[in-house]
């Protein structure tokens, strides 16, 4: 599907997408480009061949820049976010040791939010995972989940593969604390 220039809504606006090479982030980049946005994608390594698909997206040659950034390097995030109208925060730290994932995820999220606030970004969209709201054995399956629902941290700890969910819950809660 090609964006019709008469229906382009993002013309002239710049948006940063953290973790631009990820599955969801790649789709966000694609859709933003189709709608006429200028996109700055952050990646740990913009030259990694696994990110080549981003450069092939329609509009990428003219309106996509890929920048090296690390969630734990505030200055790299500040540089990428400065001058943007919006930020989609999709990045999450990757490590072979799941126990080492939680603190970097929380601190990285805080860095993105603070950098966006300092840059006076108009809107930040924090993407997370269903794991932040769904992992609660006391909530019935028919209950609608929303921003007031949280996964039960103890249940996450006792569930196989909990670290990823726990990291997402703690990151999301940190965002809420920062924004209060």
Q: What is the pLDDT along the chain (180 residues), one digit of tens a residue?
A: 444 444 557 888 999 999 999 999 999 999 999 999 999 999 999 999 999 999 999 999 999 999 999 999 999 999 999 999 999 999 987 666 666 777 788 889 899 999 999 999 999 998 877 777 778 888 888 888 887 888 887 887 777 655 555 666 677 777 677 766
pLDDT of residue 92: 82
In whole angstroms, give the CA distance from residue 112 to residue 144.
Answer: 29
Nearest Cα to 127, choosing from 177, 92, 165, 75? 92
In whole angstroms, give the CA distance from residue 89 to residue 109.
Answer: 8
pLDDT of residue 98: 62
Beta-sheet pairing, 38-43 with 14-18: parallel
If one counts the domains in the chain, the total is 2
Examine the domain organization and report whether 107 and 150 are in the same domain.
no
Q: How many beta carbons lie within 10 A of that of residue 29, not counting itself? A: 28
Examine the domain organization and report whether 58 and 96 are in the same domain.
yes
CATH number, domain with residue 79 = 3.40.50.720
If you ran DSSP here, which 8-state letter would residue 6 be given? G
- Those residues with Cβ within 8 angstroms of residue 57's Cβ, 6 or more apart along the chain or in another chain: 29, 30, 33, 64
The whole domain housing 141 covers 129-180
Examine the domain organization and report whether 108 and 160 are in the same domain.
no
Is the whole model's pTM more than 0.75, yes or no? yes
Tokens of 104: 């970097």
In whole angstroms, give the CA distance from residue 79 to residue 115.
Answer: 9
Examine the domain organization and report whether 120 and 150 are in the same domain.
no
């Amino acid at each position: 599907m090609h964006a019709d220039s008469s229906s382009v809504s993002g013309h002239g606006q710049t948006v940063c997408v953290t973790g631009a090479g990820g599955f969801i982030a790649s789709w966000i980049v694609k859709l933003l480009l189709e709608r006429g946005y200028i996109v700055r994608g952050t990646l740990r390594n913009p030259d990694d061949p696994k990110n080549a698909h981003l450069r092939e997206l329609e509009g990428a040659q003219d309106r996509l820049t890929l920048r090296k950034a690390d969630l734990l390097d505030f200055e790299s995030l500040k540089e990428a976010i400065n001058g943007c109208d919006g930020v989609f925060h999709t990045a999450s730290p990757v490590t072979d040791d799941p126990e080492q994932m939680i603190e970097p995820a929380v601190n990285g999220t805080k860095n993105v939010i603070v950098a966006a606030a300092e840059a006076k970004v108009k809107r930040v969209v924090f993407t997370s995972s269903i794991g932040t709201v769904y992992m609660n054995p006391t909530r019935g399956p028919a209950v609608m989940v929303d921003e007031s629902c949280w996964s039960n941290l103890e249940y996450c700890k006792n569930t196989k593969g909990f670290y990823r969910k726990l990291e997402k819950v703690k990151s999301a809660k940190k965002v809420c604390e920062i924004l209060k």
